[in-house]
Structure 1
Amino acid sequence: MPAKKPFALRLDEKMMKAVEKWAADEFRSTNGQIEWIVYEALRKSGRLKEKE
């Protein structure tokens, strides 16, 4: 598994509550949900190489 780099992220309260709800709905942690959102955005934009 690749190393993970800590990163501070500031979100407004309304956005954070929406992400927390989404994460709970999908049985993920809030951090896991944010990681998944970023991964999907990178993959869909072609900025992340697919695993070989």
Structure 2
Amino acid sequence: MHVYIIPRFFKAIPAPLIAIIVLTALYMYTGSDVRTVGDLGNIKQALPHFLIPKVPLI
């Protein structure tokens, strides 16, 4: 909803940027617990193995 209302007042600053700033400030003020990708599972720190697929020509 904020993304639709904000452009009426601030035309020089993109509405999504203002929404991100406001929500970040709200998170920092309330100190709520926010889940991240690292909380949901392990992230490998290596590149995937290179593999040439075997495709039949016929």
TM interval, shorter chain, is: 0.3 to 0.5
Larger radius of gyration: 2
Q: TM-score, normalised by structure 2?
A: 0.40
Structure scoring higher RCO (CA < 8 A, sep ≥ 6) equals 2
Q: TM-score, normalised by structure 1?
A: 0.44
